Amino acid sequence: MNNEVILRDVNKEDLPIFFEQQLDKTANHMAAFTAKDPTDKIAFMSHWHKILDDDRIIKKTVLFNDQVAGHVSSFEQFGEPEVSYWIGREYWGRGIATRSLSQLLEYVSIRPLFARAAKDNTASIRVLEKCGFKICGEDKGFSNARAEEVEEYVLKLPIKAE
Protein backbone atom coordinates (compact mmCIF):
# COMPACT_ATOMS: atom_id res chain seq x y z
CA MET A 1 0.00 0.00 0.00
CA ASN A 2 1.23 3.44 -0.90
CA ASN A 3 -0.97 5.49 1.49
CA GLU A 4 -2.03 7.73 -1.41
CA VAL A 5 -4.75 10.33 -0.87
CA ILE A 6 -6.60 11.40 -4.01
CA LEU A 7 -9.58 13.72 -4.44
CA ARG A 8 -12.16 13.17 -7.16
CA ASP A 9 -15.66 14.47 -7.80
CA VAL A 10 -18.35 12.95 -5.59
CA ASN A 11 -20.64 10.55 -7.41
CA LYS A 12 -23.91 8.91 -6.36
CA GLU A 13 -22.15 5.60 -5.72
CA ASP A 14 -20.22 7.27 -2.88
CA LEU A 15 -23.36 8.23 -0.96
CA PRO A 16 -24.07 4.83 0.68
CA ILE A 17 -20.47 4.81 1.97
CA PHE A 18 -20.80 8.38 3.28
CA PHE A 19 -24.06 7.36 4.97
CA GLU A 20 -22.42 4.41 6.75
CA GLN A 21 -19.46 6.55 7.83
CA GLN A 22 -21.66 9.23 9.39
CA LEU A 23 -23.57 6.68 11.47
CA ASP A 24 -20.58 6.38 13.82
CA LYS A 25 -21.57 7.80 17.24
CA THR A 26 -18.01 8.85 18.18
CA ALA A 27 -17.57 10.70 14.89
CA ASN A 28 -20.93 12.43 15.34
CA HIS A 29 -20.02 13.51 18.86
CA MET A 30 -16.70 14.98 17.66
CA ALA A 31 -18.27 16.74 14.67
CA ALA A 32 -21.09 17.98 16.95
CA PHE A 33 -23.04 19.82 14.27
CA THR A 34 -24.58 16.93 12.38
CA ALA A 35 -27.95 15.80 11.06
CA LYS A 36 -30.84 15.71 13.50
CA ASP A 37 -31.21 11.96 12.91
CA PRO A 38 -28.12 10.37 11.31
CA THR A 39 -30.03 7.10 10.85
CA ASP A 40 -32.59 8.73 8.52
CA LYS A 41 -31.26 7.49 5.18
CA ILE A 42 -34.00 9.22 3.15
CA ALA A 43 -33.14 12.63 4.66
CA PHE A 44 -29.42 11.94 4.18
CA MET A 45 -29.83 11.03 0.51
CA SER A 46 -32.13 13.99 -0.12
CA HIS A 47 -29.59 16.35 1.46
CA TRP A 48 -26.75 14.92 -0.60
CA HIS A 49 -28.73 15.04 -3.87
CA LYS A 50 -29.25 18.78 -3.26
CA ILE A 51 -25.49 19.14 -2.70
CA LEU A 52 -24.73 17.20 -5.90
CA ASP A 53 -27.15 19.39 -7.87
CA ASP A 54 -25.63 22.65 -6.57
CA ASP A 55 -22.78 23.77 -8.84
CA ARG A 56 -21.75 26.44 -6.31
CA ILE A 57 -20.62 23.72 -3.88
CA ILE A 58 -17.25 22.11 -4.48
CA LYS A 59 -17.50 18.54 -3.27
CA LYS A 60 -14.77 15.94 -3.50
CA THR A 61 -14.58 12.32 -2.45
CA VAL A 62 -11.44 11.44 -0.52
CA LEU A 63 -9.82 8.23 -1.71
CA PHE A 64 -7.19 6.52 0.40
CA ASN A 65 -5.49 3.59 -1.35
CA ASP A 66 -8.45 3.57 -3.79
CA GLN A 67 -11.01 3.27 -0.96
CA VAL A 68 -13.62 5.95 -0.18
CA ALA A 69 -12.34 7.44 3.08
CA GLY A 70 -14.67 10.46 3.26
CA HIS A 71 -15.30 13.80 1.62
CA VAL A 72 -14.19 17.45 1.62
CA SER A 73 -16.16 20.43 0.41
CA SER A 74 -16.29 24.17 0.05
CA PHE A 75 -19.54 26.12 0.17
CA GLU A 76 -21.04 29.35 1.42
CA GLN A 77 -22.32 29.50 5.00
CA PHE A 78 -23.33 32.58 6.96
CA GLY A 79 -22.37 34.64 3.89
CA GLU A 80 -18.73 33.45 3.92
CA PRO A 81 -16.84 30.80 1.92
CA GLU A 82 -16.22 27.81 4.14
CA VAL A 83 -14.67 24.34 4.05
CA SER A 84 -15.74 21.15 5.72
CA TYR A 85 -14.66 17.54 5.72
CA TRP A 86 -15.65 14.13 7.03
CA ILE A 87 -13.27 11.22 7.26
CA GLY A 88 -14.59 7.79 8.19
CA ARG A 89 -13.43 6.79 11.66
CA GLU A 90 -11.59 3.73 10.36
CA TYR A 91 -9.27 6.15 8.53
CA TRP A 92 -8.50 8.46 11.46
CA GLY A 93 -4.94 9.04 12.62
CA ARG A 94 -3.28 8.57 9.23
CA GLY A 95 -3.01 12.21 8.10
CA ILE A 96 -5.79 11.74 5.54
CA ALA A 97 -7.83 14.75 6.69
CA THR A 98 -4.81 17.05 6.52
CA ARG A 99 -3.72 15.78 3.11
CA SER A 100 -7.23 15.92 1.63
CA LEU A 101 -7.91 19.43 2.97
CA SER A 102 -4.51 20.60 1.68
CA GLN A 103 -5.41 19.27 -1.77
CA LEU A 104 -8.80 20.97 -1.67
CA LEU A 105 -7.12 24.27 -0.76
CA GLU A 106 -4.99 24.00 -3.92
CA TYR A 107 -8.24 23.74 -5.90
CA VAL A 108 -10.23 26.39 -4.00
CA SER A 109 -8.51 29.73 -4.49
CA ILE A 110 -10.97 31.95 -2.57
CA ARG A 111 -9.39 33.72 0.40
CA PRO A 112 -10.15 34.39 3.10
CA LEU A 113 -11.73 31.00 3.69
CA PHE A 114 -13.38 29.89 6.91
CA ALA A 115 -13.98 26.68 8.86
CA ARG A 116 -15.66 25.78 12.12
CA ALA A 117 -14.90 23.14 14.73
CA ALA A 118 -16.29 22.32 18.15
CA LYS A 119 -13.86 23.68 20.75
CA ASP A 120 -13.19 20.19 22.13
CA ASN A 121 -12.55 18.68 18.68
CA THR A 122 -8.80 19.09 18.99
CA ALA A 123 -8.04 16.72 16.11
CA SER A 124 -10.06 18.81 13.65
CA ILE A 125 -8.60 22.05 14.97
CA ARG A 126 -5.11 20.58 14.52
CA VAL A 127 -5.91 19.59 10.90
CA LEU A 128 -7.15 23.10 10.14
CA GLU A 129 -4.12 24.74 11.75
CA LYS A 130 -1.73 22.48 9.81
CA CYS A 131 -3.44 23.74 6.65
CA GLY A 132 -2.87 27.39 7.64
CA PHE A 133 -6.15 28.25 9.36
CA LYS A 134 -6.01 30.44 12.48
CA ILE A 135 -8.66 30.80 15.17
CA CYS A 136 -10.35 34.15 14.58
CA GLY A 137 -13.53 33.90 16.63
CA GLU A 138 -15.96 31.86 18.63
CA ASP A 139 -19.59 30.89 18.22
CA LYS A 140 -22.02 28.43 19.67
CA GLY A 141 -25.00 26.51 18.44
CA PHE A 142 -27.23 23.58 19.19
CA SER A 143 -25.55 20.24 18.53
CA ASN A 144 -27.93 17.51 17.39
CA ALA A 145 -25.27 14.89 18.11
CA ARG A 146 -24.86 16.03 21.71
CA ALA A 147 -28.39 17.34 22.34
CA GLU A 148 -27.00 20.54 23.87
CA GLU A 149 -25.49 23.87 22.96
CA VAL A 150 -21.82 23.53 21.96
CA GLU A 151 -19.14 26.18 21.71
CA GLU A 152 -17.07 26.24 18.55
CA TYR A 153 -14.10 28.04 17.09
CA VAL A 154 -14.31 29.92 13.83
CA LEU A 155 -11.05 29.59 11.91
CA LYS A 156 -9.83 31.63 8.98
CA LEU A 157 -7.37 30.93 6.20
CA PRO A 158 -6.21 34.46 5.42
CA ILE A 159 -5.17 36.08 2.18
CA LYS A 160 -1.46 35.28 1.79
CA ALA A 161 -0.32 38.84 2.64
CA GLU A 162 -2.22 38.94 5.99
pLDDT in tens, 49-80: 999 999 999 999 999 999 999 999 999 998 99
- For residue 89, the 8-state DSSP code is G
Contacting residues for 125 by C-beta, under 8 A, at least 6 apart: 117, 135, 153, 155
Mean pLDDT of 20-44: 91
Sheet of 67-77: strand order equals 5-9, 58-64, 67-77, 80-87, 113-118, 148-157, 134-143
| pLDDT in the model for residue 40 | 95
Question: Of the CATH numbers 3.30.470.20, 3.20.10.10, 3.50.50.60, 3.40.630.30, which one belongs to the domain with range 5-157?
Answer: 3.40.630.30
Cα separation of 35 and 100, whole Å?
Answer: 23
| pLDDT in the model for residue 35 | 86
Taking the CA atoms of residue 146, residue 147, residue 151 and residue 154 in that order, the dihedral angle to the nearest 10 degrees is 80
Mean pLDDT of 20-31: 92
Summarised one tens digit per residue, pLDDT across range 99-135 is 999 999 999 999 999 999 999 999 999 999 999 999 9
